Structure formats: C-alpha cells, structure tokens
Structure 1
Amino acid sequence: MDVTGLRVALFSGNYNYVRDGANQALNRFVGYLLSQGAAVRVYSPTIATPAFEPTGDLVSAPSFAVPGRREYRVPYRMSGAVRRDLKRFRPNLVHVSSPDPLGHRAVSWARSGGLPAVASVHTRFETYPRYYGLAFLEPVIESLLRRFYRRCDAIVAPSESMAQLLREQRMSYDVGIWTRGIDRRIFNPGQRDLAWRRSLGIEDDEAVIGFIGRLVMEKGLDVFSDTIDQLALRHVRHKVMIVGEGPAREWFQNRLPNAIFTGFQKGADLGRAVASMDMLFNPSITETFGNVTLEAMACALPTVAARATGSESLVTEGVTGRLIRPGAIGAFADALAAYCTNPHARADAGAAARAEAERYGWDQVNQALVDTYIRVIRQRSQGALLRSSPVP
C-alpha cells in the first residue's frame, strides 16, 4: 500500500474554530495527504465564524461550549449523521487528535470495525489543573489519558522528549514521532523590520523579549510576569512584546502595563513580529513541541524556555538558548538579563538556533506520519493485535 490507498477519518476537538499550533499542523497535514492522492474526511465541532477556512472536507460534530472558556467546544458524542457519513466514506484508518468524548467514540467505532486507530498528542492535558488550583487531579487525568491512548494501535508525539514522557507514563507500546515543520518563507531573519519596531516605540538598541501564543494562564503567564518584574528590579534595559490574543489578555495587560501588545498576527505579519524580537521567553510546560520556539529559532532568536517536554527537544542548553527549571523566576531572569546585556551572546545563540531550524521541513515531517499510517494498516492486515486493553 502507498499513500494513494489511504482513506483517513480524522477526529479533532478543534480543527479550525480557534486558531492554535495544533490545528494548524493538522490542516497542513490534511493538505499534504490530499496533495499526495489520499482521501480524508474531518469530523470536528464547527461554529458560524471559524478562525480560518478548513483544509479538506469538514463534517460538523455535536458539541457544547466549555464553561468558563466558551471559545472552546467539547464534541460530546458521535451522532447518527456522523456515523452515516463514516459509513459512506469507508475509511481504512481512524486518526484521533484529542482525548475528548468524540475521540473515545471514534476509537471504539474503529475497533468494532477492525480498523486501526492512531492518536496524535498535541498538549499535556494532565498539567492543566495546576493552573486552576486543582493539581490533585493530575494523577486522575493521567490515568484517563492512559486508558484512551492504550486503546489505539499507535500514538505519535511531536518531539522525542514528549515521546519519552509518554513511554514513561506507559501510555502506549507504540510511540512514534510526528514533529512540526517551519515555513522558512515566513520565518527568517530577513523579516526583521526596524521601522516597524520604531513605530511601536522600540529603540534600535533595545533588546525585545517576546512572547507568542494564546493568552491563557496555562501558558505560564504568571511566571512570565514575575520574571519581567525581576528584570525591572535589576534595572535591566529591555522591552516586552506580546503577540497573541486570548481570554487572559486583560489580566496580562494589567500585570505588564509597559509591555507592547500587538494582538493576533498571522502570515507575513507574524513573521515580521517574530523576527523583530531579540529573544523568545517561553515558560510554559504544557506544550508537547513548541511551534513558536521553532518559529523563533528560524528567525535567528535565542530562546529562554522551561526545561520541559517540547522545549528540551528543540533548545540546546547554552548553545541555541537556555533551559531553566520550571517556575525558577530568578534563573529565568538571569538568562534573560544575560541576553539583554550581551548582543554578541544573542547573535551567537541566534545563529546556532537558525542552523538547527533548517532541519525541519513540512513535507519530511508529514511523510513520517504517513509512514506510520501505512505501517499500522499493514500490521492489522497481517493479524497483529493491540497489546493494550481488551477489545470492548
């Protein structure tokens, strides 16, 4: 079998209604599959005004808004319409990208029909409770995730550090890598724009500390803010640029009144914003890869990041940036201060980061997931059985 024989049913909790790194990677992957001659059908919640147009055919799944975070939706069941569409489509593989109720039903549907199921891991859901005072729930969520992923034939992680964590958590016997690529036409040092920086009140010789992503507490906004306070107390000259939108924007702006908030950026505008920074500060521990880190590296920026899954696979300590113990405010401040005050150190780390980013091309990384698809289909056709939980 080759890629033209694939008929993939992809289930997503958020395919295009809110823009994030995970669903942009999924849309790009669907585009790659279609360009190679595969057939794809996507099942996900939909809204009247999504963040962007979906790639491929999208079938709406029943969903409800998350209480307190109404921008997100939970697909809670596999409706009769979805089941009828699946029957007409006749997939030979099911891909689930979120461990939500629809994802569970999709895996059960695949197993009842003898089809292989592959799951992609995009975020560390088990870490989310700690940002809302519910850290005691982490072991429970990890157990639920283990039950979900063990029912799949294989799972794929976006970085080797995340894959190793999944192995240590005993999530699956078959853990592969589906990393992320970079569009070097958008993200490169040539997009740096000093005139644009000046229009934001940034002097040419001021070091800009950047944050890129959705403005939600689980991105480590509290650690980011506390670290910036430390730099101010030390009288380290710098500017802070925040690129992104989200429900915590008002909190973040109140916390960092002197920061520059550019709002949501995309395409060439995002490339300009990233390249016009001088370093990226990413204190989050929830990412499984860190798309923004790779984008910053391609723009020749050093990264100061939490020593966590994702970042550990991208940032080489002391070479392309710094890896700091999560939550270590003083150490984060030390690393940022060193880059703010030493432009030569910034340039050296940035050059090394750009060289490392050259290894990540979208076609190569997407083909790796295609290869996983074909392998698990072949294993099923040869009678290989899941080594996880009993068939329900």
Structure 2
Amino acid sequence: MIYLDYQASTPLAPEARDAMMRWLDGPGGTGFANPHSSHKMARQAKAAIELARDRVAALFPPGGRVIFTSGATEAINLAMRGSGTGGTVAISAIEHSAVTDTARALGKCHILDVDKDGLCTATQDLPEDTRLVCVMQVNNEIGTVQPTLEWHRRAKGANALFLCDAVQSFGKIEVTGADMIAISAHKFHGPKGIGALWVRDGLDLAQVQTGGGQEFGIRSGTLSPALIAGMGAAAKLANEALDRDVEHLEQLWTRARDLFSDWTVNGSETARMHGNLNMRRDGLDTSRLMSDCREVMFSAGSACASGSGKTSHVLRGIGLTDAQAKSSIRLGFGRYSTIEELDQAAGIINTAAAAQGL
C-alpha cells in the first residue's frame, strides 16, 4: 500500500516510538508511574515530561508556555472557551470544524472571507466587539498558507486576541505571531492522543475542564509520560531535520505536479504547503476512483468530514461548485514518502481516472 494522506495523520517517527517505550513499562519496569506523585519514579516521569515540554517549546515563538492537551481539538476549545466570554469571535471561512463549531457554540460568530486562491486577506473589517480572531496557518484541505502575522497585528489593533491553528504547519514552517497556538503531535510524526496549546506570557485562561489542575491550574487530568515523550522526540527531530524535510518536500511536489499536470490545483500553487496537492478533474466520480485505487491511501476531503456526504466548506469557500468540489481529491506526502511511491500512485490514479473517460 502507498500512503498519501499526510494531512490526516503522519507515520510515527521511529525516534518517537523509541522515546515512548520506557514509559510504557509494565510490572517490573519503572516507567509507568503517575508523574504527579512525589516519589522517585514519579519524579523521573515528571522530568521526561518537562524535557519534552522544552523540545516542543523550541519550535514556538519565545515568550510563552506549552500546555499539554489530548490533541488540537481540546487545545482549541481551551483557547476559545478559556479566553473569555461575550463579544464576537471572528474566524476564517476555511477553519477546521474544531474552530467553526466552537465559535458557533459560543454565540456571536463572524466569518472572514477567503479569495479564490484560498487566502484570507487581513484587509477585512472586524466587528467592533470582536474579542477573538481565529485564522489557521495552513489549511488542512487545500494547504494554503494564511497571513497569520498580519492577522495577529489586526487583532491587536482591535484589542482582540489571536488564536492560530498550527496543526498542519508545526515542525514544517516557522510559527509566528499569535496569542495562542494549537498543535497536535500526530501531524508531525508523533503519537495520537497528545497535543498542546501555546499561550503567550501574561495571558491567563480560565479552566474549561475542572479537576486536579495538573497543567498550570488550567487543564486537569493525569498526563501521559509516554505520549508526551513521543511528542517531544518528534518535535526535536522536526527541529533538527527541518531543512532536509523542506528540500525533500520540494522534490516530491515538483514530481507530483509533473505526474498530475493535466489536473487543476485547488487553491494557490505558491502560497501553500507543498506537501498538500488538492486537485480536481471535472466530472470525476471520486467514490469510484477511491474504490478503483484501494492500494493508494488518499482522501476525497478532510478525514474528519469523510463519509458525511457533505460538500467541503473549504472548497465551497474558494468558489468551487458542488460538482467541482465532489470531483476533487487530496494527496498528502512528506518525510517518509518516496518518488517511487508517487510514480506508482500516479499511474494507478491516472489510469483509474482515464477509465472514467477523463
């Protein structure tokens, strides 16, 4: 099988798996202790968590703290619900459902438009009572890179906070300019079930999840040394391999564009993460295509919305018709993808599309 669904999840790095193993020890081992206890084994587990925290923090801007969560969805909820009440929450039209659904649940939600290239320009007006602006750095469906630094400045000018969903960009491009940043480990070769919220120094959040208050008195729940150690190792590797990963991604992107030169790219070709190729062939039956290409793992939409039968709000947001959106697929590749796999996948996909007369 060929895996081309890196936006949904990335393969676990061997270094991350190795870092996790000690903290999964059963009877006779020393890694299973509760890190919030006070004995020697607990202190060792706590030390592993703090080492991982430092490794994750190294990829964030200076002047903030890392709060571990169960993933980006929890981090986003903590940021949006814990940063205040009342006022308007302004979000881009192509945010992840973790942001859009939470914004609507909070009450007053203002949608910021995106253009045909999938970019949310920072020239739009904000409602006078805006308290929070949410714009993701890289879109999970079409890979477009948003002007988040400009939006942070706009939010500050409006006396509002700025939340950046950096799930798709963390460990791949520099993350800058925000009051709060949400990430998830399994998007940069760490384990599932662990994420973090970076919070700017001086910004206090209210508890959303009450209990023991293990994370700075803000987020309650026993931390997992194994998951956090894996996340820390993945962050350390991403930091060390950044230039190499970027170069590899550019080679893959160039090859993929050659292999799919007669497909139409959805969104900007330049202002985008080059590990995301969202493209369409008008008239394509994507359900049939995926059935005919079972040995290639790719997506006809974001993983959290697949199977819903609904047209992608992201593709609608950039002006595609329902028919065009439903004729689109997404290929995601990265650190462990190879040119040979791309070549093989392109042959399978293009042959299956041709069988539909396209």
Give me the TM-score of the superposition, normalised by structure 2: 0.26
Larger proportion of helix: 1
Give me the TM-score of the superposition, normalised by structure 1: 0.24
Higher-RCO chain (CA-CA 8 Å, sequence separation at least 6): 2
